[in-house]
Structure 1
Amino acid sequence: MTTSLTLNNGVELPAIGLGVFQTPPEETVAAVAAALRTGYRHIDTAAAYGNEREVGQGIRESGVARSEIFIETKIWISDYGYDETLHAFDKSAGKLGVEQIDLLILHQALPSAFARTVGAYKALEKLLADGKVRAIGVSNFMPEHLTQLLEQTEVVPSVNQIELHPYFQQKELQALHAEHGILTQAWSPIGGITSYGQSARRSFDEPVILTIGEKYGRSAAQVMLRWHIQNGIQVIPKSTKPERIAENFDVFDFELTADEVAQIDALDTGVRGGPEPDSITLENYGMPIPEA
């Protein structure tokens, strides 16, 4: 059973990691330590989450060697631009308490200031060349953003981390990833975002998923994570509850049939839960990222 994926530069990434988006700093240390003790070896954070310091503390408290752990974080748009992004690496590494970051990505495209986005990515290329990071990538980039980036830079992103769950599958974007050897990484992989706001459908209540789950004695979350893994997508479910963290990791000992995968593939509504990528501007979303 595949438990890791190989990035386009040969670096291996675990198939499943722990996400800490919106995890309060005071809960992050325990969640990270619990995940690592459970068997997770990939932690995904971001400068904008405000919990990089606690991720680093959780890693140290877990007792798992740093060399065994894959750390991913993201540069926020306020730190875009070549020199700014080089400094943003120092801020993140300092908070995490590490010298090298395994995967460093740009958190969003900044369509209204794309030259700054390109400058930021060129800084990632420099950090990669200098061995300060092992792989680089992007997040929430749409096809037009990726195409522009590829035209103006040298290193093809290793990943694009995007909203992806049974109700929102971004198949056109996934096809572009496949064409360029970019790994699709799913945030909100079990559709947690469908439980907030005005959403009429919660992925956890989806009859198709619940029926498949009953067959295998698995939760809706486990079925969705298994579906991603079988589709070659890397997942970063988030939870702060040790029992849920463990449940989300327990997806490597059963397999969905091709028909079951197709049934979940057919649930796509095309409705995004997160912000529209083109709405991301410094005016709307800019915020200072504190020093280390």
Structure 2
Amino acid sequence: NMDEKSIKQSILSSSNDEKIIYKSRIKKFQKNHKFYIILLIFIAILQFISIAFFTRGFLLSRHVLDNISAQNETTALQPRFNKTVVLVIDALRFDFVIPVNESSSTHNLNYHNNILSLYDSFANDEDTSSLLLKFIADPPTTTLQRLKGLTTGSLPTFIDAGSNFDGTVIEEDNLLKQLYLANKTVKFAGDDTWMALFHPFLSNDSFPLESLNVWDLDSVDKGVMDYFHDHLQQDQEWDVMIGHMLGIDHVGHKYGPDHFTMKEKQVQVDQFIDWILKSIDENTLLVILG
């Protein structure tokens, strides 16, 4: 209080010029204060508008269509193959498959030129039955969303990424449901995400394996290979056989692509693909996906 009184007395006793200077300072302070308040309110409004645009543009949601395609015997295409083998190799990069010049500065012995059984068939001029295509996955690239995209033909949304760890059966029309409706037997081994999404359409002896333990580099791949060895040739009661291997993906998570473990895993996958190629006949289609 004493300080306030002394300030007031000093103001009253000051000259007119000093009073004018003091009042101008007060007005300037008030003007700046109002300006900063208006600026903060304007920035807050911009933030809310930005969040609204982000949620409506980036976090898209999509409507699921419940229409199921009906079979029409008159317009249905005749199958060119009796059976189909689908092998999904998680995190299979394009440069894992094609040869890279060893003198190139980008060449890495640990993850280049190790899966050549595929490219050897593509590079053979006499072989017209093989096709190599490079796909660019639409994000998000979590397993569940990519499987939805592959089997339904739809584009995944980022807001769906949260369901990667809690998948439920896909209600919309999809490839596996159509195979089921056509009385085709689909056998499966590998990443258990498939069972969460498609278990009504898969055979009872399918072999799902736990997929989220990235420290386990071998169990899922070994399970897929054992399942294929038991069913691919000996068991003829199937139309489509699906395998989903996770070893390369888990090595990438644990060590990165340039670790020697990556080369060991790719050599293992390469030998497995070579065995499949030698085990199937000309009436079986082999599809290998990253």
TM over 0.5: no
- Bigger fraction of residues in strand: 1
TM-score, scaled to structure 1: 0.30
Task: Determine which structure has greater relative contact order: mean sequence separation of CA pairs < 8 Å that are 6+ residues apart, divided by chain length.
Answer: 2
